[in-house]
A and B are shown apart, each in its own frame.
Chain A
């Protein structure tokens, strides 16, 4: 990525600020993820924010650097595992005697605890799948020029 003739990674300010910001972006992503059951937020938004941290890294440094951190197979795995985690919670509640995605049966003593656990795991699945999908889309677009 180039700005006014210079590669972005050669710009000191961009590099330093990005380095400083990325941990906070990831942290904020996690906050939105785990805050989702009590307030605004949830897996989808968290997934996008979390992936945005990685995308920023890829933009400022390079796609190759990013792909060293998160290789393509990991992204593919993330998409699949996220969906499986979501569906797995549904199947688990099915096996525990409830209907599909009936979280209440996940905790045998306290239905509220079960609900809480269920939504937490489902949102985690969503977060994983969404952040991996965002990265997959970024890889697909950013990798086009290099593929030629």
Chain B
């Protein structure tokens, strides 16, 4: 397996772009930025964002996984894992 780091960085950068339109308070997006507490996204908005992420990388993110995906970094990890197949 090749070094996943460059891909991970690209995934994070693209994730930040997908989140940007929802970032009403224009806070800086970091690894530990929390969707509910920092970005203040409600559950419907999070689910719409998940659909965009699924389509961006052609992956499946079941809604039942969402409780484990609280931060931008955790989502980047999940996307990296799912695209590394």
Q: A and B: real partners? A: no
Give A contacts to B, CB under 8 Å.
Answer: none
Give B contacts to A, CB under 8 Å.
Answer: none
